[in-house]
Amino acid sequence: MNITSGTRKIIIAIDGPAASGKSTTARLLARKLGYTYIDTGAMYRSVTLKAFEAGLLGHLQDHPDDATSLLEGIDIAFEAERVLLDGKDVTEAIRDNRVSRHVSFVSSLKPVRDTLKQMQRAMGEKRGVVMDGRDIGTVVFPDAELKIFLVADASERAKRRYTELVRKSGGSNNVPSIKELEQEILQRDRSDAERTHAPLKKHQDAVEVDTSGLTIDEQVALVYNLALEKTAV
């Protein structure tokens, strides 16, 4: 069902740790509601890819303010479920594990956070969006009518990420083991939660949903019902 009339358009913020099911839930929920889905992780991944391709990752460790040169005039757009960075389709490239390993560092830089926050606020201005990330309910849209905090066991999250990487690369060659992925995910959770600017944390009004034992359909249905309560006028 696609609800459009007799309802008010709201902002739905879905936050949570790595591989907790945010993007799958957010995408399917947006489709059911006829809303726009905005994957803010893809935006941080795009900046990371840009830094990587410019050979700037090492330099930024000592000169974080120089990230402004990367951000000047940067164009990140979502079109038909593809991610375009400066007009180029980077949908697959930003999921590469090389990007995953550096994205927490790039996301911790203040100029990066400030710029992407402004872009995200502009994207949600007209409401009617589902936005997922780490700081959407706490920093980007603290007035979001519905805030969800998705969690899942680390071992389950590592298995999901492994299955996703194997599917995308057409086999298990070059895919890290489940154990390695679990270590990387836990390390990323720690960096995201401990950083100074906009750390990962649950907003006091957020509804916590544990997706460990749930199927995708179950977790989408659960969040969809919460959304219907908020959109009813």
Distance of alpha carbon 68 from alpha carbon 109, whole angstroms: 10
In the complex with ligand CDP, the residue whose CB is nearer, 205 or 232, is: 205
If one asks whether residue 46 binds ligand CDP (CB under 6 A), the answer comes out as: no
Nearest to 166 by CA among 155, 175, 158: 175
* Gap between the Cα atoms of 137 and 224, Å rounded: 17
7/101 with CB nearer ligand CDP: 101
Is residue 137 close enough to count as binding ligand CDP by CB under 6 A? no
Establish if 134 lies at the interface with ligand CDP (CB under 6 A): yes
192 touches ligand CDP by CB under 6 A: yes
- CA nearest to 26, candidates 127, 131, 128, 137: 131
Which of 10, 14, 19, 38 lies at the binding interface for ligand CDP (CB under 6 A)? Answer: 19
152 touches ligand CDP (CB under 6 A): no
User: What string of DSSP letters covers 15-79?
Assistant: E-STTSSHHHHHHHHHHHHTPEEEEHHHHHHHHHHHHHHTT-HHHHHH-GGGHHHHHTT--EEEE
Interaction between residue 107 and ligand CDP (CB under 6 A) = yes
Residue 124 binding ligand CDP, by CB under 6 A: no
184 binding ligand CDP? (CB under 6 A): no
Interacting residue ranges for ligand CDP, rule: CB under 6 A: 18-19, 23, 40-41, 44-45, 103-104, 107, 133-136, 188, 192
